[in-house]
Amino acid sequence: MPLSIHILRRHAAFALLAAAASTAVYASEVKDSMKEMARAYKAAMASQTMPEFADSFKKVQDSAKRIAGMQWKENQPLFNEGQQKLQKQLDAVAVQVSANNLAGAKDELAKTDPIKKEYHKKLD
């Protein structure tokens, strides 16, 4: 086999491995960030004061922003749609936080759960 073909095959194999690793990293990063968001969500829902809620909610928002900037391996448009719906609902939570309405903030945050379930089901 000529040396140039051998080199091309090695480069092609390396490119395929790099692409596969890249997809795995994205999936892993998304899942890790989703786990962080889930922990922050639970803490926010368990909070007894607005400062506790606001601190946990900020972590939810930070995780959502981080996730929204990531790539999804299969259906990016559907992933983006879910992130947009989530962000819209998080904006409604933020309104309640600004109004210092803990019960309202928790009610609005709870509305993110059906969005999560819908898009997890669609993207699995």
Tens digits of pLDDT across the chain (124 residues): 555 554 545 544 444 444 443 444 456 788 898 899 999 999 999 999 999 999 999 999 999 999 998 887 788 899 999 999 999 999 999 999 999 999 999 999 999 999 999 998 988 8
- Give residue 74's pLDDT: 80
Q: What whole-number distance in Å separates Cα of residue 108 and Cα of residue 114?
A: 11
The whole-model pTM stands at: 0.76
- Give residue 40's pLDDT: 97
- Give residue 104's pLDDT: 98
Q: How far is CA 31 from CA 47, 50, 60, 67, 81, in A?
A: 24, 28, 14, 9, 18
Q: Does domain 3-123 have CATH number 3.40.50.720?
A: no
Q: What SS3 state is found at 79?
A: helix
- Give residue 9's pLDDT: 53
- Give residue 38's pLDDT: 95
- Give residue 25's pLDDT: 43
Please report, for the chain, the start and end positions of each structural domain, with discontinuous segments joined by +: 3-123
